[in-house]
Amino acid sequence: MGGVVTVFRRELASYFATPVATVFIVIFLVLSGALTFTLGNFFARGQADLGPFFTFVPWLFLFLVPALTMRLWAEERRLGTIELLLTLPIAQWEAVVGKFLAAWMFCTIALALTFPLVITVNVLGTPDNGVILSGYLGCVMVAGAFLAVGAAISAMTKNQVIAFVLAVAACFFLTAAGSPVVSEFLSQRVPQMAEVARAVSITDRLAGFSRGVISARDIVFFASFIGFFLFANTVAVDQRKAD
Amino acid sequence: MTALIEIERLTKRFGAFTAVDDVTFSVAKGEVVGFLGPNGAGKSTTMRMLAGFVTPTAGTARICGDDVVDKPVAARRHLGFLPEGAPTYPEMSVTGFLEFCARARGFRGSELADRVAHAMQLTQLEGVRLQPVETLSKGFKRRVGLAAALSHDPPVLVLDEPTDGLDPNQKHEVRNLIRAMAPEKAIVISTHILEEVGAVCTRAVVIARGRVVADTTPAELAARGPSMDAVFRALTLPREAA
């Protein structure tokens, strides 16, 4: 476990040692705020909750999270530091988990910095803060799922652009699978696929969280989803590390 | 003498290409083995297999008795490895980078600080300790990689081209450092600078097209022909071309 902590610390520090952290956080905060107040009709709805904010978060993460994950392994390959990292006396899974947790922590920090929205609704009305907290938990879960997929893809390719595009596609699939457009189309033509699409849909599960419903099924879904892709990530690193 | 590095019939194939072909040798404590060969002969691949970065197609290697395939983490604990090109994280400071490597090797607290300080002293990095690695010259970067490989005082050192990119003074320093550590360790250095073998190595292993073609002392190697260069050419070029 010591290896996980060591890699985690180095990775998290490296986000803040480069402009990555500033750019990511500023863009995330500007876009999430702007979308909530404009497209989300924050004021016109007349409700003291963060519903619109939570619906936009997956769509923002869809682009921003792959930007984080694309460099996770591809950059190590480019610099040759993968050879250094994987010849230190730490197991490969420790490097994989350490990198994932650092990226996850980074996304959590970005989400936590949207706290002025929470203050705003509390000033304007009397929201149920438990529901807001559960919505944030859902967002953290979505970030974890996207990061796990993106990191696994990054381990499979040397090329950062390929890693980014494939990760965006995968995250888009997870996000759009539950949207009415997709589910109506599928249930009319291939009803079997409609079931599958609903099952992997991240938006449906996030909707539950943002209503304040934390169900064991959703937690198990996210945990096993992240676990599976971290496992795939470890296998990919092992197979392709020296290419 | 007990062998700290044992390489046994190590083979690596990439598709139809055989990069390392049935290589066997062992290195005892006190030996400095110069691993020689033309570019593409399989030097780096052999060293990467020793460090557990490349998985062998066949055969195995043991470091201080721990198998690099079956017990990779235990084997790496005994090893100080300088990868080819001495890769480092560019945004980290010299101290930060060395601390990361020492921490990954299980050092904590004051021992960690001592290890890092000692490694920096050995490689003369104190003057640049807080600079980001990316701002350093090639010679300094190489020494940062070397310091990372030395920080835990490992019984086995595997250094892939440790003097590449250094100026003559720095080369001299690194060779002195290797000579000073030699009695306590088993050291393998790869190089294609032939004079270096005579200067620091107690033994020379020449590899060509993945196979070991000579395993002898540098003096004996030099005595085989008019010059070291000529011997190297005769050993490493295909028969018809030589």
pLDDT by 10-residue block (mean), chain A, 243 residues:
91 90 93 86 77 88 92 89 92 95 96 92 88 93 95 90 94 85 81 80 86 90 95 91 73
Identify all chain B residues contacting A89, using CB atoms and an 8 Å cutoff: 73-74, 76-77, 104-106
Cβ-Cβ pairs closer than 8 A, A with B, add up to 71
Q: Do A13 and B89 touch (CB under 8 A)?
A: no
The answer to whether A88 contacts chain B (CB < 8 Å) is: yes
Distances (CA, A) of A110 to A30, A70, A101, A234, B24: 11, 18, 14, 26, 53
Q: What is the pLDDT of residue B240?
A: 52
pLDDT of residue B238: 75
Residues of B in contact with A13 (CB under 8 A): 92, 96
Pairing assessment for the beta strands B79-82 and B156-160 based on DSSP bridges: parallel
| Stated pTM of the model | 0.91
8 Å CB contact of A7 and B104: yes
As a whole number of Å, the CA-based R_g of chain A is 19
- Max distance between CA atoms of chain B, in angstroms, equals 60
Cα–Cα distance measured from residue B8 to residue B61, given in angstroms and rounded to the nearest whole number: 6
Looking at residue A160, its amino acid is Q
Residues of chain B with pLDDT under 70: 1, 239-242
Q: How far apart are CA A76 and CA A78, in angstroms?
A: 6
| Main-chain dihedrals φ then ψ at residue B183, nearest 5 degrees | -60, -25
Within chain A, residue ranges assigned H as helices are 2-17, 20-37, 51-79, 81-85, 92-112, 115-124, 129-156, 160-176, 180-189, 191-200, 202-210, 216-240
Question: Where does residue B3 fall: left (phi above 0), alpha (psi -120 to 50 degrees), or beta otherwise?
Answer: beta
CATH of the domain spanning B1-78+158-242: 3.40.50.300
**CA-CA distance, B242 to B233, in Å (whole number)?**
7
Minimum CA–CA partner of A3 in chain B: B104
Q: Is B25 helix (H, G, I), strand (E, B) or coil?
A: strand
Cβ contact A84–B104 (<8 Å): no
* Residue of chain B with shortest Cα separation from A86: B53
| Long-range contact set of residues B164-173: C-beta below 8 Å, sequence gap at least 24 | B164/B85, B164/B191, B165/B138, B165/B139, B166/B138, B166/B139, B166/B142, B167/B139, B170/B139, B170/B142, B170/B143, B171/B196, B173/B124
Residue B187: predicted pLDDT: 94
* Helix (H), strand (E), coil (C) string for A168-184: HHHHHHHHHCCCHHHHH
State the DSSP code for B137. -
- Do the Cβ atoms of A241 and B53 come within 8 Å? yes
Contact across the interface for A84 and B73, Cβ inside 8 Å: no
For A145-172, give one letter per residue: b (16+ CB within 10 A) or e.
bbbbbbbbbbbbbeebeebbebbbebbe
Domain ranges in chain B are 1-78+158-242, 89-153
| Residue A241 with chain B: CB contacts under 8 Å | 53
Residue B183: what residue type? Answer: P
List CB contacts (< 8 A) between A9 and chain B.
100, 103
SS3 A204: helix
- CB–CB contact A7 B51 (8 Å): no
Residues B215 and B188: beta-carbon distance below 8 Å: no
Across the interface, of B53, B92, B96, the residue whose CB is closest to A87 is B53
Residue B5, H or E segment: strand B3-14
Is A18–B91 a contact, with Cβ atoms under 8 angstroms apart? yes
Pairing verdict, β B156-160 and B186-191: parallel
Which among A6, A80, A241 has CB closest to B87?
A80
Residue B242 has a pLDDT of: 43
- Which residue of B lies nearest to A93 if distances are taken between CA atoms? B73
- CA of A169, closest CA in chain B: separation in Å? 30
ipTM: 0.89
Distance from CA of B105 to the nearest CA of A (A): 6
Burial A113-135 (b: 16+ CB within 10 A, else e): ebeebbebbeeeeebeeebbebb
Contacts of B48 in chain A (CB under 8 A): 83, 242
